[in-house]
Amino acid sequence: MTVTTPSGSRIEPNFGNPETIDASLASMVRALKGSEILRIATEVRAMVAAGKQVCNLTVGDFNSKYFPIPALLLDGITRALAAGETNYPPSDGVLVLRQAVTEYVERVSRIRYPLESVLITGGARPVLYGVYRTVLNAGDTVVFAGPSWNNNHYAWLAGAHPVDIVTDRDHGFQPTLAQIAPHLPKATLLCLCSPLNPTGTIMEPVMLEAILRAVVAENQVRERRGTPYLFVLYDQIYGALTFGGKRHVYPLEVAPEAAPWVITLDGISKSLAATGLRVGWVLAAPAVIARLRDLLGHVGAWAPRAEQVAVAEFLRNPDAMAEFRAVMDSQVQMRLDALYQGFCALKAQGYPVDCVNPQGAIYLGLQLRLIGRTIDGVRIETNDEIRSLLLERAGLAVVPFQAFGLKEETGWFRMSVGAVSMDDITQAFPRIRALLDAVK
Ligand SMILES: Cc1ncc(COP(=O)(O)O)c(C=O)c1O
């Protein structure tokens, strides 16, 4: 084969004026808000590059030095690639993985989904985007909790009408039936998440059951009227990570009669510390799955084929899973406990801080009641000012709940433990105390 190379001088494209190009793009994307977490992460990176000591609790990801993926999974991917699993996967996922997911779900929840109820996706994000697009027409109402992860952005992408329910610490930052019920008659989609990002709190099974029963009752009314159903998107991407004796509960365990309307999202991103592998799945009525598969097929939002084959093998190995869980869970819990106990000790000493006990995920909610106080004679006005003070003066990087759609300046922040060592945490507390001492 002869290879012909082009002749002449190098071509360096001139892309014109970025502002006029941007102004010509669709208003939907131009109004899309960028990730606040990534903005903060950039600030943190600059500080670290400048040689400052930072305990980085910002990104909802793992440092693979502390949280590697299971060795068996890595080995399985390598073997699958070598065996030629390098082509397009089927649009609903490789059959062995769909089978393995149904077996795994039955093992942990007793629920046996049929194969047509399972769709494999490139992580959880395509499911979120896809469900919004599959269920909602423009202008339809979607109800979700504030704070919660990215529902505000997905609502915008779908052109839906967002109703965010402001939750509180007393109810574990989970929405209650009393808060949700008034919105159900007008809603098309209700989004729940447990354990919740950003608070790490779980939805109590009785609360979930009450909400699902209300959804069933609402759909019985709609069935009589012949109007479109109300669906529930239950995001349990952190479901494998629960602490303090809490067990994660699948929605259909507490309300099996809600099966036609509950769409359950899961995957390995958080449970196997495998955010970069991009394997997720969704369980729902076959009629929903078929539409979702067709939509996501056009986006090509499939999980890589070799990863799918290897995840199937891993899910079918309960001993390897249990072994991995024991190590990962203890590492996550150790970090969450260290933060929780450290802030509880400060609270007991009269500092204006509060913290929610670790229940699940890799997150802990922290409140710093500093708004209205002064530091070096300057009044602290916003959560973002508190965040900057923590970063610059205490080397502690956290994310305000505002990044999760909360509008109120309540002094609450998310701390994420996947990328830090125990030393990072213990060394941060004297710096935090010094900052709090400087606040008048
Ligand atoms: C609640 C929640 N759902 C879904 C996702 C997306 O997961 P994935 O990385 O699999 O797309 C995240 C990621 O942080 C999350 O926090």
CATH of the domain at 431: 3.90.1150.10
pLDDT at res. 143? 98
Dihedral over Cα of 130, 135, 139, 143: its sign: negative
Name the pLDDT band for 189 (thresholds 50, 70, 90). Answer: very high
E strands, 157-278, are 161-166, 187-193, 231-235, 262-267
Q: State whether the beta carbon of 149 lies less than 6 angstroms from ligand 1.
A: yes
Strands 374-375 and 378-379: antiparallel
Q: Percent of the chain, pLDDT > 70?
A: 100
pLDDT tops 90 at residue 432: yes
- Asked if residue 10 is part of any domain, the answer here is no
E strands, 139-198, are 141-146, 161-166, 187-193
pLDDT tops 70 at residue 293: yes
295 CA from centroid of ligand 1 (Å): 19
Mean pLDDT for the chain overall: 96
Name the pLDDT band for 370 (thresholds 50, 70, 90). Answer: very high
Picking from 283, 316, 349, the residue at the C-terminal end of a domain is 316
The encoded tokens of residue 52 equal 């400052």
Does one domain contain both 98 and 186?
yes
SS3 call for 100 = helix
Across the chain, how many H-helices and E-strands are there? 15, 15
266 CA from centroid of ligand 1 (Å): 9
Q: Percent of the chain, pLDDT > 90?
A: 92
Does one domain contain both 99 and 37?
no
415 CA from centroid of ligand 1 (Å): 16
Cβ neighbours of residue 377 closer than 8 Å, sequence gap 6 or more: none
pLDDT tops 80 at residue 164: yes
- Asked if residue 277 is part of any domain, the answer here is yes
Query: Which protein residue's CA is at the shortest distance from atom 16 of ligand 1?
Result: 197
Q: State whether the beta carbon of 193 lies less than 6 angstroms from ligand 1.
A: yes
Picking from 279, 300, 316, the residue at the C-terminal end of a domain is 316
Asked whether the beta carbons of 237 and 267 are under 8 A apart, the reply is: yes
Top pLDDT among 38 and 170 is at 170
Mean pLDDT of 366-380: 95
How many Å separate Cα 284 from the centre of its chain?
A: 19
pLDDT tops 80 at residue 344: yes
Q: State whether the beta carbon of 150 lies less than 6 angstroms from ligand 1.
A: no
pLDDT tops 90 at residue 2: no
Q: For residue range 44-76, list pLDDT tens digits in order.
A: 989 989 999 999 999 899 999 999 999 999 999
Does one domain contain both 329 and 297?
no
Amino acid 428 reads: A
Q: State whether the beta carbon of 235 lies less than 6 angstroms from ligand 1.
A: yes
- Asked if residue 367 is part of any domain, the answer here is yes
Residue with token string 């040689």:
51
SS3 call for 145 = strand
pLDDT tops 80 at residue 3: no
- Asked if residue 12 is part of any domain, the answer here is no
110 CA from centroid of ligand 1 (Å): 25
Beta-bridge mates of residue 396: 55
Alpha-carbon gap, residue 64 to 87, rounded angstroms: 27
- Whichever domain contains 128, its CATH number is 3.40.640.10
Query: Which protein residue's CA is at the shortest distance from atom 13 of ligand 1?
Result: 60
The encoded tokens of residue 267 equal 């995957």
pTM of the model: 0.96
Q: Which domain holds residue 244?
A: 71-316
pLDDT at res. 425? 97
Q: State whether the beta carbon of 267 lies less than 6 angstroms from ligand 1.
A: yes
Q: For residue range 137-146, list pLDDT tens digits in order.
A: 999 999 999 9
296 CA from centroid of ligand 1 (Å): 17
Considering only 2-16, 158-172, 319-333, which range has the smallest mean pLDDT? 2-16
Picking from 316, 342, 368, the residue at the C-terminal end of a domain is 316
Query: Which protein residue's CA is at the shortest distance from atom 14 of ligand 1?
Result: 60
Considering only 9-18, 31-40, 219-228, 324-333, which range has the smallest mean pLDDT? 31-40
pLDDT tops 70 at residue 342: yes
Does one domain contain both 288 and 160?
yes
Name the pLDDT band for 1 (thresholds 50, 70, 90). Answer: low
Does one domain contain both 182 and 268?
yes
Q: State whether the beta carbon of 130 lies less than 6 angstroms from ligand 1.
A: no
Q: For residue range 113-142, list pLDDT tens digits in order.
A: 999 999 999 999 999 999 999 999 999 999
Does one domain contain both 311 and 327?
no
How many Å separate Cα 358 from the centre of its chain?
A: 16
Alpha-carbon gap, residue 117 to 378, rounded angstroms: 57
- Asked if residue 28 is part of any domain, the answer here is no
Residue 47 CB coordination number (10 Å): 16
Does one domain contain both 298 and 395?
no
Residue with token string 């369980």:
283
Which atom of ligand 1 is least distant from the CA of 361? 16
Does one domain contain both 195 and 341?
no
Q: State whether the beta carbon of 205 lies less than 6 angstroms from ligand 1.
A: no
- Asked if residue 26 is part of any domain, the answer here is no
Does one domain contain both 53 and 93?
no
Does one domain contain both 363 and 254?
no
Does one domain contain both 380 and 283?
no
Q: State whether the beta carbon of 266 lies less than 6 angstroms from ligand 1.
A: no
- Asked if residue 1 is part of any domain, the answer here is no
In terms of Cβ atoms closer than 10 Å to its own Cβ (0-12, 13-18, 19+), residue 166 is middle
User: Number of folded domains in the chain?
Assistant: 2
79 CA from centroid of ligand 1 (Å): 27
- Asked if residue 45 is part of any domain, the answer here is yes
Q: Which of 149, 236, 308 to mutate to test the pocket of ligand 1 (most atoms within 8 A of CB)?
A: 149
DSSP 253-311: HH-GGGTTTEEEEEESTTTTT-TTT--EEEE--HHHHHHHHHHHHHHT-PPPHHHHHHH
pLDDT at res. 421? 97
Name the pLDDT band for 176 (thresholds 50, 70, 90). Answer: very high
Q: State whether the beta carbon of 333 lies less than 6 angstroms from ligand 1.
A: no
Q: State whether the beta carbon of 147 lies less than 6 angstroms from ligand 1.
A: no
Does one domain contain both 144 and 254?
yes
Q: State whether the beta carbon of 140 lies less than 6 angstroms from ligand 1.
A: no
Q: State whether the beta carbon of 403 lies less than 6 angstroms from ligand 1.
A: no
